[in-house]
Amino acid sequence: MLKKIIHNTTFTRNVALPGIIVLVLLSLLSALFPLRVNNWLTFVQSFIYKNLSWMYILLVSFFVIFLLAVAFSKLGNIRYGVTAEKRVLSDYLVDEDNTPDADNGTQYIPVTYYSDGRTGNDIQYLSKDEIIADVLREYGRYISSISDNRNAMVFVDKKPQ
């Protein structure tokens, strides 16, 4: 299953390799010429601080405004959680001596839920990576379905009582 998760990733070499090359080169230069690299990085830092600090504050402000807009829009209206769902066991399992923890005839299973009231998947046997993949897959489905105007009446937040 982990191979399936890794196969369905958005990781691309065209994005990662230049970053890795820059990091390796910077590490090698720092190891070989520590004083020169220190002086150069100090110069770059002071230049950015003196000349571009307003741009940094502006970008951070826009990013915070963007996050707040997403959080309060319909794109941020997804609630995904896990609840314990009660299931009744058959009498055969309750009477079986080899069945662990089946004395009272009920079993509690972790099941995901969503903001629109529907029940999700049984996740009791999933690993951490599989649960993360399930969250991302469901969020992708949510985003694609709310972007379609034909589904506008479907998305009413049914908050649990």
Domain coordinates of the chain in residue numbers?
A: 16-50, 75-150
Contacts of 79 by beta carbon, 8 Å cutoff, 6+ apart: 113, 114, 115, 157
Residue in 41, 26, 1, 36 with CA at minimum distance from that of residue 137:
1
Rounded to an integer, what distance in angstroms lies between the CA atom of residue 134 and that of residue 127? 10
Q: How many CB atoms lie within 10 A of CB 83?
A: 14
Predicted local distance difference test score (pLDDT) of residue 125: 82
pTM above 0.75, yes or no: no
pLDDT of amino acid 13: 77
Residue 151, C-beta contacts closer than 8 angstroms, at least 6 positions apart: 145
**Torsion angle of the four alpha carbons 24, 26, 31, 37, in this order, in degrees rounded to the nearest 10:** 180
Place of tokens 């079986």: 96
Find the angle CA(101)-CA(119)-CA(155) to the nearest 5 degrees: 165
Question: What pLDDT digit, counting tens, does each position of 54-108 carry?
Answer: 888 899 899 999 888 877 776 665 666 777 777 777 666 666 666 666 666 677 7
